[in-house]
Structure 1
């Protein structure tokens, strides 16, 4: 609910994620990606309503109460790498003190002394955060180092799901690549990564699969190799999103996405789609990985400039 108006921020989102895998959830700003992340962690506003289920092991994240989320899920089962990490870190405490507190809360390391100091150094090293910066405050860190500090905090509890919500916002291309490479390094037999991003180049670099969201719905779910290579995206919006990249056709998608407060009854992309016809008055379901009445064929490949 926003100003008394109901907002359908996420509708009928369905996907799975296995250990050892990176799923990139991509789409334009405002399509509902970060709201989905907040729902998984129980961080939605009090007036938000959720339906359905989101199972992590034997726990339904959407049905869990705040006590369960705080004591069993956040940090322990889901590690969050937030958007704008400098704002996420406590501004009046050093990185060392924040790591020490998190370690004390989530692990069996002692609350003080050599054992805790060793654990703090190990946590920093795990995220490639320089040990000689541990006594600095967040405002004294570059964007890249703030991101590493946030990653170090997210990894402390050895959570099986790492959720990175727009982790490359505000970083230059070199730092983007280093940041996502670092996140990818932490995926293993016992950990998966959900990367929420509008940066398709970052997604292409590390994702195993791609989920494309448009106007609150997932409209395509595909293997990354097929999505970024051949045969390419099958949903017209996903194909347009990819072709808008500078190293592709550099062609913008015409029109603007609808407001989430005024979503149409049928396909939300129909007003911008050259393939739209009367059948698009109905919302298409996600069938064979694409939610479209007129998906692209395998032969219509995307091109690089």
Structure 2
């Protein structure tokens, strides 16, 4: 609820994520991606309302109480690379001490050289420089803070890793190194949900892509087909790719609707050159796309 009115930040979202897989959740800022991640970890504000289920290893994350989430989920079943690392790092403690505490909690290594080595190994995995381990968060750049938060998230080798904009503030070389390390996290019993607006990062490591627009998933596709041939099917998803500098470099016209005032029909219709009167009805996600006129289907009538 915001200003006395309900805002549907995420609605009708459904997907699965198997061990050994990376699903990239992409879309413009404000579409609901980070709200979804916060819901899975019970980090939404107290006035938020949640319906549905999110099963992870037999546990419904959306129904779990705070005690269960704190003791058995966060860091253990589900790791989080946060979008705002400054809010997740303790300001009065060094990065080293926070890494060592996390190692103690999640791995059972308690003290001595093994503890120090495990913390330094976690830092190295996230490309965090050893020379900065004894600094406090306020002494770090945004990019270094992001890498510190990534190191903390990787410590427990959680079965599910949520990486929410993990490349914020990083240059391209570090972006590639970071997402490659996140990809290496994936294994026979581990999966990765990558939340990002960096389509190049998604293309580099994702197995599947889910495109979110105005609180809903509008396309779900294999990454090879999405980034290659035949390409995205939803006009919004195709517009995201066309806006990239190495493609057509053409922005999508218009602005997304306010989440507190979503239209009854297709939320993208006002920005879409394929929209018709049919789009006054909200399309369901069917065969991987929520669109009455997907890009691979010929348009039967001009826009009204």
Question: Which category of TM-score, normalised to the shorter sequence, fits these structures?
Answer: over 0.9
Give yes or no for the alignment of 1:129 onto 2:128. yes
**Post-superposition CA distance 1:253-281 (Å, at most 9, x none):** 11111000000011101111122122211
Taking structure 2 as the reference length, what is the TM-score of the superposition?
0.93
How far apart, in 1, do the equivalents of 2:168 and 2:95 lie? Answer: 21
Give yes or no for the alignment of 1:253 onto 2:264. no
- Residue 254 to residue 126, structure 1, CA distance change in 2 (3 Å): closer
Q: What RMSD over aligned residues (CA atoms) do the two structures have, in Å?
A: 1.8
**The residue matched to 2:151 in structure 1 has which SS?**
helix
Gaps of 5+ in 2: 300-304
Give the match for residue 37 of structure 1. Answer: 37
Give the match for residue 96 of structure 1. Answer: 96
How far apart, in 2, do the equivalents of 1:54 and 1:281 lie? Answer: 30
**Post-superposition CA distance 1:87-123 (Å, at most 9, x none):** 432222111110111122223222x334433332333
- Residue 228 to residue 299, structure 1, CA distance change in 2 (3 Å): farther
> After TM superposition, which residue ranges in structure 1, 4 or more long, deviate above 4 angstroms?
none
Give yes or no for the alignment of 1:71 onto 2:71. yes
How far apart, in 2, do the equivalents of 1:299 and 1:125 lie? Answer: 51
Distance apart, 1:299 and its partner CA: 9.4
Give the match for residue 53 of structure 1. Answer: 53
- Residue 191 to residue 177, structure 1, CA distance change in 2 (3 Å): same
How far apart, in 1, do the equivalents of 2:297 and 2:242 lie? Answer: 16
Give the match for residue 21 of structure 2. Answer: 21
Distance apart, 1:222 and its partner CA: 0.4
Task: After TM superposition, list the pairs within 5 Å mapping 1:1-305 onto structure 2.
Answer: 1-110=1-110, 112-297=111-296
How far apart, in 1, do the equivalents of 2:56 and 2:298 lie? Answer: 38
How far apart, in 2, do the equivalents of 1:185 and 1:227 lie? Answer: 22
**The residue matched to 2:219 in structure 1 has which SS?**
strand
Distance apart, 1:51 and its partner CA: 0.7
How far apart, in 1, do the equivalents of 2:86 and 2:270 lie? Answer: 39
**Post-superposition CA distance 1:38-95 (Å, at most 9, x none):** 0000001111011111100110011111111111100000110111324432222111
Gaps of 5+ in 1: 301-305
Could you tell me whether the CA contact under 8 Å between 1:84 and 1:167 is conserved in 2? no
Could you tell me whether the CA contact under 8 Å between 1:144 and 1:179 is conserved in 2? no
Taking structure 1 as the reference length, what is the TM-score of the superposition?
0.93
**The residue matched to 1:48 in structure 2 has which SS?**
coil
**The residue matched to 1:100 in structure 2 has which SS?**
helix
**The residue matched to 1:195 in structure 2 has which SS?**
strand
Give the match for residue 302 of structure 2. Answer: none
**The residue matched to 1:196 in structure 2 has which SS?**
strand
How far apart, in 2, do the equivalents of 1:277 and 1:298 lie? Answer: 14
How far apart, in 1, do the equivalents of 2:41 and 2:233 lie? Answer: 31
- Residue 170 to residue 113, structure 1, CA distance change in 2 (3 Å): closer
How far apart, in 2, do the equivalents of 1:48 and 1:189 lie? Answer: 34
Could you tell me whether the CA contact under 8 Å between 1:25 and 1:194 is conserved in 2? yes
**The residue matched to 1:251 in structure 2 has which SS?**
coil
